[in-house]
Amino acid sequence: MFFGGMPGGGFPGMPQKREPADTTKLYETLGIEKSSTAAQIKKAYRKKALRMHPDKGGDPEEFKKLQAAYDVLSDEDKRKTYDKYGLEGLEEGGGPGGGMGDIFDLFGGGRRRNGKRKVEPLVFTVKASLEHLYCGKTVKLAYKRDALVGEPRKCATCGGTGITVQNVQIAPGMVTRAQAQCSQCNGGYRAQMKKERCEVEVRIDKGAADKSKIKLKDKGSEAAGAEQGDVHFVIQQKPHSLYKRHGADLLIRKDIGLVEALTGFKFVVPTLDGRKLSVQAKPGQIIRPEVRSGVPYVMCVDGEGMPKYGNPFDKGRLFVLFHIAFPTDGSLSSQAVAYLKKALPAPLDHPVVGADAEALKKLAEKNESVRELLGHEAEEAFLTRVEGGMDDFGRGAGADGGDATNEDDDDGRRRRGPQVQQCAQQ
Protein backbone atom coordinates (compact mmCIF):
# COMPACT_ATOMS: atom_id res chain seq x y z
CA MET A 1 0.00 0.00 0.00
CA PHE A 2 1.29 3.43 -0.89
CA PHE A 3 0.51 6.62 0.95
CA GLY A 4 0.85 10.17 -0.29
CA GLY A 5 3.64 10.02 -2.87
CA MET A 6 6.84 12.05 -2.35
CA PRO A 7 7.01 14.59 0.51
CA GLY A 8 7.59 18.08 -0.86
CA GLY A 9 7.03 17.19 -4.52
CA GLY A 10 5.40 15.07 -7.17
CA PHE A 11 6.67 12.14 -9.13
CA PRO A 12 9.45 12.17 -11.72
CA GLY A 13 8.47 14.22 -14.71
CA MET A 14 6.04 16.32 -12.72
CA PRO A 15 6.79 19.91 -11.51
CA GLN A 16 8.73 19.89 -8.26
CA LYS A 17 7.63 21.97 -5.28
CA ARG A 18 10.06 24.75 -4.40
CA GLU A 19 11.76 24.94 -1.05
CA PRO A 20 10.30 27.59 1.30
CA ALA A 21 11.52 31.06 0.31
CA ASP A 22 13.96 32.87 2.57
CA THR A 23 12.11 36.03 3.60
CA THR A 24 14.35 37.15 6.48
CA LYS A 25 17.79 37.86 4.96
CA LEU A 26 17.09 41.50 4.08
CA TYR A 27 15.69 42.19 7.54
CA GLU A 28 18.79 40.60 9.11
CA THR A 29 21.01 42.83 6.94
CA LEU A 30 19.37 45.91 8.47
CA GLY A 31 19.29 44.31 11.94
CA ILE A 32 15.52 44.64 12.38
CA GLU A 33 12.46 42.44 12.91
CA LYS A 34 9.98 41.58 10.14
CA SER A 35 7.32 43.48 12.05
CA SER A 36 9.31 46.76 11.94
CA THR A 37 7.53 49.90 10.77
CA ALA A 38 8.68 52.09 7.89
CA ALA A 39 10.11 54.60 10.39
CA GLN A 40 12.07 51.87 12.18
CA ILE A 41 13.44 50.59 8.85
CA LYS A 42 14.62 54.09 7.92
CA LYS A 43 16.21 54.66 11.34
CA ALA A 44 18.04 51.32 11.25
CA TYR A 45 19.36 52.02 7.75
CA ARG A 46 20.68 55.48 8.65
CA LYS A 47 22.40 54.17 11.78
CA LYS A 48 24.17 51.32 9.98
CA ALA A 49 24.96 53.42 6.89
CA LEU A 50 26.90 55.94 8.98
CA ARG A 51 28.99 53.15 10.47
CA MET A 52 29.45 50.98 7.36
CA HIS A 53 30.10 53.67 4.73
CA PRO A 54 33.33 53.02 2.77
CA ASP A 55 34.60 56.47 3.73
CA LYS A 56 34.43 55.29 7.36
CA GLY A 57 36.43 52.15 6.58
CA GLY A 58 33.46 49.92 5.79
CA ASP A 59 33.39 47.15 3.18
CA PRO A 60 31.90 48.56 -0.08
CA GLU A 61 30.20 45.22 -0.86
CA GLU A 62 28.53 45.07 2.53
CA PHE A 63 27.44 48.68 2.09
CA LYS A 64 25.87 47.77 -1.27
CA LYS A 65 23.93 44.99 0.45
CA LEU A 66 22.72 47.44 3.07
CA GLN A 67 21.54 49.84 0.38
CA ALA A 68 19.84 47.06 -1.59
CA ALA A 69 18.04 45.77 1.50
CA TYR A 70 16.78 49.25 2.31
CA ASP A 71 15.70 49.82 -1.30
CA VAL A 72 13.42 46.78 -1.08
CA LEU A 73 12.08 47.12 2.46
CA SER A 74 11.42 50.86 2.17
CA ASP A 75 9.19 50.24 -0.87
CA GLU A 76 5.79 48.91 0.18
CA ASP A 77 5.17 46.85 -2.98
CA LYS A 78 8.68 45.37 -3.10
CA ARG A 79 8.47 44.53 0.59
CA LYS A 80 5.19 42.63 0.09
CA THR A 81 6.71 40.70 -2.80
CA TYR A 82 9.79 39.81 -0.75
CA ASP A 83 7.75 38.78 2.30
CA LYS A 84 5.77 36.39 0.09
CA TYR A 85 8.31 35.08 -2.44
CA GLY A 86 11.77 35.94 -1.04
CA LEU A 87 14.76 36.78 -3.24
CA GLU A 88 13.50 34.63 -6.11
CA GLY A 89 10.28 36.60 -6.10
CA LEU A 90 12.25 39.83 -6.46
CA GLU A 91 14.29 38.40 -9.32
CA GLU A 92 11.24 37.07 -11.13
CA GLY A 93 9.07 40.04 -10.23
CA GLY A 94 6.82 37.95 -7.93
CA GLY A 95 4.94 36.65 -10.96
CA PRO A 96 4.16 39.30 -13.58
CA GLY A 97 6.36 42.36 -13.99
CA GLY A 98 10.05 43.13 -14.19
CA GLY A 99 12.88 41.50 -12.26
CA MET A 100 15.63 42.54 -9.83
CA GLY A 101 18.62 40.43 -10.78
CA ASP A 102 21.13 42.80 -9.14
CA ILE A 103 19.88 42.19 -5.62
CA PHE A 104 19.83 38.47 -6.31
CA ASP A 105 23.49 38.68 -7.34
CA LEU A 106 24.33 40.56 -4.13
CA PHE A 107 22.72 38.15 -1.72
CA GLY A 108 23.05 34.93 -3.71
CA GLY A 109 21.34 31.67 -2.84
CA GLY A 110 18.58 29.73 -4.57
CA ARG A 111 18.38 29.22 -8.32
CA ARG A 112 18.89 31.58 -11.20
CA ARG A 113 16.21 32.81 -13.57
CA ASN A 114 17.05 30.07 -16.08
CA GLY A 115 16.58 27.42 -13.39
CA LYS A 116 20.31 26.80 -12.87
CA ARG A 117 22.11 27.33 -9.63
CA LYS A 118 25.31 29.39 -9.58
CA VAL A 119 28.55 27.85 -8.40
CA GLU A 120 29.86 29.28 -5.12
CA PRO A 121 32.52 32.00 -5.65
CA LEU A 122 36.22 31.38 -5.19
CA VAL A 123 37.65 33.70 -2.53
CA PHE A 124 41.31 34.76 -2.40
CA THR A 125 43.26 37.27 -0.32
CA VAL A 126 45.32 40.03 -1.94
CA LYS A 127 47.83 41.80 0.30
CA ALA A 128 48.22 45.49 -0.49
CA SER A 129 50.51 48.11 1.02
CA LEU A 130 49.14 51.46 2.10
CA GLU A 131 51.07 52.99 -0.82
CA HIS A 132 49.17 50.76 -3.27
CA LEU A 133 45.84 51.70 -1.70
CA TYR A 134 46.80 55.39 -1.89
CA CYS A 135 48.04 55.45 -5.47
CA GLY A 136 46.13 52.51 -6.95
CA LYS A 137 47.81 49.59 -8.72
CA THR A 138 47.16 46.84 -11.27
CA VAL A 139 48.46 43.44 -10.16
CA LYS A 140 48.66 40.10 -11.95
CA LEU A 141 47.22 37.19 -10.00
CA ALA A 142 47.02 33.45 -10.64
CA TYR A 143 44.57 30.96 -9.18
CA LYS A 144 43.18 27.47 -9.85
CA ARG A 145 39.56 26.60 -10.56
CA ASP A 146 37.47 23.53 -11.44
CA ALA A 147 36.81 23.35 -15.18
CA LEU A 148 34.59 21.08 -17.28
CA VAL A 149 36.13 18.61 -19.75
CA GLY A 150 33.83 18.25 -22.72
CA GLU A 151 30.04 18.62 -22.62
CA PRO A 152 28.05 17.52 -19.55
CA ARG A 153 25.80 14.46 -20.00
CA LYS A 154 22.37 14.01 -18.50
CA CYS A 155 22.46 11.55 -15.62
CA ALA A 156 20.82 8.23 -16.47
CA THR A 157 20.19 7.40 -12.82
CA CYS A 158 17.90 10.37 -12.07
CA GLY A 159 16.91 11.30 -15.62
CA GLY A 160 18.44 14.79 -15.29
CA THR A 161 16.32 15.82 -12.29
CA GLY A 162 19.12 15.51 -9.74
CA ILE A 163 16.71 13.61 -7.47
CA THR A 164 16.12 9.90 -6.95
CA VAL A 165 13.00 8.33 -5.47
CA GLN A 166 13.11 5.44 -3.01
CA ASN A 167 10.47 3.31 -1.33
CA VAL A 168 10.68 3.63 2.46
CA GLN A 169 8.82 1.28 4.79
CA ILE A 170 7.41 3.24 7.70
CA ALA A 171 5.49 0.35 9.29
CA PRO A 172 4.58 -3.26 8.47
CA GLY A 173 2.54 -3.09 5.29
CA MET A 174 2.95 0.70 5.00
CA VAL A 175 5.38 2.17 2.46
CA THR A 176 5.95 5.72 1.36
CA ARG A 177 8.12 7.21 -1.33
CA ALA A 178 10.90 9.64 -0.38
CA GLN A 179 13.17 11.74 -2.55
CA ALA A 180 16.91 12.25 -2.10
CA GLN A 181 19.69 14.03 -3.94
CA CYS A 182 21.18 11.82 -6.62
CA SER A 183 24.56 10.47 -5.57
CA GLN A 184 25.72 9.82 -9.14
CA CYS A 185 25.61 13.37 -10.50
CA ASN A 186 25.67 17.06 -9.79
CA GLY A 187 22.24 18.60 -10.34
CA GLY A 188 21.19 16.04 -12.96
CA TYR A 189 24.35 16.14 -15.08
CA ARG A 190 27.58 14.20 -15.12
CA ALA A 191 30.89 15.48 -16.47
CA GLN A 192 34.63 15.05 -16.25
CA MET A 193 36.44 17.79 -14.32
CA LYS A 194 39.98 19.13 -14.21
CA LYS A 195 41.98 21.74 -12.31
CA GLU A 196 42.77 24.74 -14.47
CA ARG A 197 45.24 27.54 -13.80
CA CYS A 198 44.02 31.04 -14.59
CA GLU A 199 45.86 34.37 -14.71
CA VAL A 200 44.05 37.68 -14.38
CA GLU A 201 44.86 41.36 -13.97
CA VAL A 202 43.17 42.99 -10.99
CA ARG A 203 42.93 46.75 -10.50
CA ILE A 204 43.22 48.02 -6.93
CA ASP A 205 41.46 51.39 -7.00
CA LYS A 206 42.65 54.44 -5.09
CA GLY A 207 41.18 54.58 -1.61
CA ALA A 208 40.06 50.94 -1.58
CA ALA A 209 39.23 49.85 1.97
CA ASP A 210 40.76 47.04 3.96
CA LYS A 211 38.69 43.83 3.58
CA SER A 212 36.86 45.22 0.53
CA LYS A 213 36.22 42.83 -2.37
CA ILE A 214 37.15 42.97 -6.03
CA LYS A 215 34.70 40.75 -7.96
CA LEU A 216 35.38 39.10 -11.31
CA LYS A 217 32.08 37.86 -12.71
CA ASP A 218 31.94 34.36 -14.25
CA LYS A 219 35.68 33.74 -13.77
CA GLY A 220 35.35 31.05 -11.12
CA SER A 221 34.76 27.32 -11.09
CA GLU A 222 32.46 25.45 -13.45
CA ALA A 223 30.06 22.63 -12.63
CA ALA A 224 27.74 20.43 -14.66
CA GLY A 225 24.24 21.88 -14.92
CA ALA A 226 25.19 25.15 -13.18
CA GLU A 227 26.24 28.68 -14.02
CA GLN A 228 29.94 29.43 -13.75
CA GLY A 229 30.88 31.02 -10.43
CA ASP A 230 32.62 34.31 -9.69
CA VAL A 231 36.01 35.11 -8.18
CA HIS A 232 36.32 37.41 -5.17
CA PHE A 233 39.66 38.98 -4.24
CA VAL A 234 39.59 40.33 -0.68
CA ILE A 235 42.04 43.16 -0.01
CA GLN A 236 44.19 42.76 3.09
CA GLN A 237 45.91 46.01 4.07
CA LYS A 238 49.49 45.59 5.26
CA PRO A 239 50.64 47.38 8.43
CA HIS A 240 52.65 50.55 7.79
CA SER A 241 55.72 51.68 9.71
CA LEU A 242 54.65 55.34 9.88
CA TYR A 243 50.95 55.70 9.15
CA LYS A 244 47.80 54.28 10.70
CA ARG A 245 44.58 54.45 8.69
CA HIS A 246 40.96 54.90 9.68
CA GLY A 247 38.62 55.33 6.71
CA ALA A 248 39.97 58.21 4.64
CA ASP A 249 42.03 59.67 7.49
CA LEU A 250 45.68 58.97 8.29
CA LEU A 251 47.46 59.26 11.65
CA ILE A 252 51.12 59.66 12.57
CA ARG A 253 52.78 60.09 15.96
CA LYS A 254 55.36 62.82 16.36
CA ASP A 255 57.73 63.20 19.30
CA ILE A 256 58.77 66.79 20.00
CA GLY A 257 60.84 68.38 22.72
CA LEU A 258 59.48 70.75 25.36
CA VAL A 259 61.20 73.69 23.69
CA GLU A 260 59.47 72.82 20.39
CA ALA A 261 56.10 72.53 22.12
CA LEU A 262 56.52 76.05 23.51
CA THR A 263 58.38 77.86 20.74
CA GLY A 264 57.33 76.07 17.54
CA PHE A 265 58.53 73.24 15.30
CA LYS A 266 58.94 72.21 11.69
CA PHE A 267 59.42 68.69 10.38
CA VAL A 268 59.09 66.79 7.08
CA VAL A 269 56.76 63.83 6.53
CA PRO A 270 57.25 61.44 3.59
CA THR A 271 53.85 61.00 1.91
CA LEU A 272 52.47 57.74 0.51
CA ASP A 273 52.83 59.01 -3.07
CA GLY A 274 56.51 59.94 -2.68
CA ARG A 275 56.24 63.65 -1.87
CA LYS A 276 57.82 65.43 1.09
CA LEU A 277 55.33 67.34 3.23
CA SER A 278 56.61 70.11 5.51
CA VAL A 279 54.51 70.39 8.68
CA GLN A 280 54.89 73.29 11.08
CA ALA A 281 53.05 75.09 13.86
CA LYS A 282 51.70 78.58 13.48
CA PRO A 283 53.87 81.29 15.10
CA GLY A 284 53.24 81.40 18.85
CA GLN A 285 51.13 78.21 18.85
CA ILE A 286 51.70 76.04 21.94
CA ILE A 287 51.38 72.25 21.86
CA ARG A 288 49.93 70.80 25.06
CA PRO A 289 50.30 67.25 26.40
CA GLU A 290 46.50 66.81 26.54
CA VAL A 291 43.36 68.66 25.51
CA ARG A 292 41.83 67.51 28.77
CA SER A 293 42.39 64.60 31.11
CA GLY A 294 42.92 61.45 29.08
CA VAL A 295 42.38 63.17 25.69
CA PRO A 296 45.62 63.53 23.69
CA TYR A 297 46.49 66.71 21.81
CA VAL A 298 46.23 66.25 18.04
CA MET A 299 46.37 68.53 15.02
CA CYS A 300 45.46 67.80 11.42
CA VAL A 301 46.29 68.83 7.87
CA ASP A 302 43.28 68.90 5.53
CA GLY A 303 43.57 67.10 2.22
CA GLU A 304 46.61 64.99 3.12
CA GLY A 305 44.78 61.79 4.06
CA MET A 306 43.72 58.86 1.87
CA PRO A 307 41.88 59.37 -1.43
CA LYS A 308 38.18 58.65 -0.97
CA TYR A 309 36.96 55.54 -2.78
CA GLY A 310 35.06 56.49 -5.93
CA ASN A 311 36.30 60.10 -5.77
CA PRO A 312 40.11 60.05 -5.51
CA PHE A 313 40.36 63.82 -5.95
CA ASP A 314 38.71 64.25 -2.54
CA LYS A 315 41.03 63.24 0.30
CA GLY A 316 40.76 62.83 4.04
CA ARG A 317 42.89 64.45 6.72
CA LEU A 318 46.34 63.78 8.13
CA PHE A 319 46.23 63.70 11.93
CA VAL A 320 49.37 64.28 14.01
CA LEU A 321 49.41 62.91 17.55
CA PHE A 322 52.02 64.75 19.60
CA HIS A 323 54.11 63.31 22.39
CA ILE A 324 56.13 65.88 24.31
CA ALA A 325 59.51 64.63 25.49
CA PHE A 326 60.36 66.51 28.69
CA PRO A 327 64.01 67.00 29.70
CA THR A 328 65.61 63.92 31.21
CA ASP A 329 66.69 63.78 34.87
CA GLY A 330 69.10 66.57 35.71
CA SER A 331 69.03 70.14 36.92
CA LEU A 332 68.80 73.64 35.47
CA SER A 333 71.18 76.42 36.31
CA SER A 334 69.86 79.31 38.38
CA GLN A 335 70.26 81.55 35.35
CA ALA A 336 68.12 79.21 33.19
CA VAL A 337 65.47 79.05 35.93
CA ALA A 338 65.37 82.85 36.07
CA TYR A 339 64.96 83.10 32.31
CA LEU A 340 62.13 80.55 32.36
CA LYS A 341 60.28 82.34 35.16
CA LYS A 342 60.51 85.55 33.20
CA ALA A 343 59.39 84.03 29.90
CA LEU A 344 56.64 81.69 31.09
CA PRO A 345 53.20 82.68 32.46
CA ALA A 346 52.79 83.41 36.18
CA PRO A 347 52.28 80.47 38.57
CA LEU A 348 48.77 79.25 39.38
CA ASP A 349 46.85 80.60 42.39
CA HIS A 350 48.62 78.73 45.17
CA PRO A 351 51.16 80.16 47.66
CA VAL A 352 54.65 80.55 46.31
CA VAL A 353 57.60 80.58 48.67
CA GLY A 354 59.40 83.90 48.44
CA ALA A 355 56.46 85.78 46.92
CA ASP A 356 56.09 89.35 48.12
CA ALA A 357 53.37 90.30 50.56
CA GLU A 358 51.32 92.20 47.97
CA ALA A 359 51.15 89.17 45.67
CA LEU A 360 50.10 86.90 48.57
CA LYS A 361 47.44 89.39 49.59
CA LYS A 362 45.93 89.31 46.10
CA LEU A 363 45.98 85.53 46.10
CA ALA A 364 44.33 85.44 49.52
CA GLU A 365 41.43 87.52 48.29
CA LYS A 366 40.65 84.80 45.74
CA ASN A 367 41.48 81.60 47.56
CA GLU A 368 40.42 80.57 51.08
CA SER A 369 43.16 77.95 51.35
CA VAL A 370 45.73 80.69 50.77
CA ARG A 371 44.23 82.76 53.61
CA GLU A 372 44.56 79.81 55.97
CA LEU A 373 48.22 79.37 55.08
CA LEU A 374 49.18 83.00 55.46
CA GLY A 375 50.90 83.73 58.74
CA HIS A 376 52.01 80.12 59.24
CA GLU A 377 55.54 79.08 58.52
CA ALA A 378 55.53 76.27 55.97
CA GLU A 379 57.58 73.12 56.28
CA GLU A 380 59.74 72.34 53.30
CA ALA A 381 59.18 69.08 51.40
CA PHE A 382 60.83 67.92 48.20
CA LEU A 383 59.30 65.53 45.71
CA THR A 384 61.20 62.41 44.78
CA ARG A 385 60.68 60.21 41.78
CA VAL A 386 58.62 57.03 42.29
CA GLU A 387 60.30 54.31 40.29
CA GLY A 388 57.13 52.23 39.95
CA GLY A 389 54.92 55.16 38.98
CA MET A 390 51.23 54.59 39.70
CA ASP A 391 51.94 50.91 40.29
CA ASP A 392 53.38 51.91 43.70
CA PHE A 393 50.22 53.81 44.64
CA GLY A 394 48.71 52.20 47.76
CA ARG A 395 51.81 50.20 48.66
CA GLY A 396 52.82 52.45 51.54
CA ALA A 397 51.00 50.31 54.16
CA GLY A 398 52.54 47.55 56.26
CA ALA A 399 52.87 43.93 55.27
CA ASP A 400 49.30 43.15 56.30
CA GLY A 401 47.92 46.19 54.51
CA GLY A 402 47.90 48.41 57.62
CA ASP A 403 44.24 47.64 58.38
CA ALA A 404 43.49 49.42 61.66
CA THR A 405 40.45 47.24 62.20
CA ASN A 406 42.49 44.02 62.28
CA GLU A 407 43.18 43.51 65.95
CA ASP A 408 43.88 40.53 68.22
CA ASP A 409 41.07 39.31 70.45
CA ASP A 410 41.79 38.47 74.04
CA ASP A 411 42.02 34.80 73.06
CA GLY A 412 44.75 35.60 70.53
CA ARG A 413 42.62 35.09 67.46
CA ARG A 414 42.70 37.64 64.67
CA ARG A 415 39.55 39.78 64.58
CA ARG A 416 38.52 41.21 61.21
CA GLY A 417 36.94 44.58 60.77
CA PRO A 418 33.34 45.01 59.69
CA GLN A 419 32.50 43.25 56.42
CA VAL A 420 31.19 45.60 53.76
CA GLN A 421 28.68 44.21 51.29
CA GLN A 422 27.87 45.80 47.96
CA CYS A 423 24.25 46.76 47.53
CA ALA A 424 22.43 46.35 44.26
CA GLN A 425 21.28 49.56 42.65
CA GLN A 426 17.56 49.98 42.22
Which range marks the domain in which residue 384 is found? 348-420
Query: Do residues 135 and 208 share a domain?
Result: yes
Residue 145 within a domain: yes
Query: Do residues 312 and 416 share a domain?
Result: no
Under the banding of pLDDT at 50, 70 and 90, the label for residue 263 is confident
Residue where one domain finishes, among candidates 325, 359, 375 = 325
**Range among 41-55, 196-210, 295-309, 365-379 with highest mean pLDDT value:** 196-210
Query: 267 with 261: CB under 8 angstroms?
Result: no
What is the value of pTM for the model shown?
A: 0.58
Query: Do residues 313 and 228 share a domain?
Result: no
pLDDT of residue 12: 38
CATH number at residue 31: 1.10.287.110
pLDDT of residue 115 exceeding 60, the answer is no
Residue 221: strand pairing partners:
none
Under the banding of pLDDT at 50, 70 and 90, the label for residue 356 is low
The fraction of the chain above a pLDDT of 90, given in percent, is 27
| 390-397 average pLDDT score | 53
Residue 1 within a domain: no
- Give the residue from 62, 200, 204 showing the smallest Cα distance to 130: 204
pLDDT of residue 424: 37
Under the banding of pLDDT at 50, 70 and 90, the label for residue 410 is very low
Query: 134 with 307: CB under 8 angstroms?
Result: yes
Query: Do residues 147 and 94 share a domain?
Result: no
More confident residue, 322 or 117: 322
Query: Do residues 164 and 224 share a domain?
Result: yes
Query: 210 with 57: CB under 8 angstroms?
Result: yes
Query: Do residues 212 and 263 share a domain?
Result: no
Residue 116 within a domain: no
Residue 15 within a domain: no
pLDDT of residue 63: 83
pLDDT of residue 361: 63
Query: Do residues 145 and 45 share a domain?
Result: no
Query: Do residues 255 and 292 share a domain?
Result: yes
Residue where one domain finishes, among candidates 184, 219, 237 = 237
Residue where one domain finishes, among candidates 220, 237, 254 = 237
pLDDT of residue 418 exceeding 90, the answer is no
Query: Do residues 218 and 265 share a domain?
Result: no
Query: What type of residue is 164?
Result: T
pLDDT of residue 398 exceeding 70, the answer is no
Residues 400-409 have pLDDT tens digits of 444 444 444 4
CATH number at residue 213: 2.60.260.20
Residue 186 within a domain: yes
Q: How many domains does the chain have?
A: 4
Please state, in angstroms and as integers, the Cα–Cα distance from residue 146 to each residue in 103, 151, 286, following that order: 26, 14, 64
Query: Do residues 68 and 145 share a domain?
Result: no
Residues 159-218 have pLDDT tens digits of 777 788 777 777 787 878 777 778 878 777 888 889 999 999 999 999 999 999 999 999
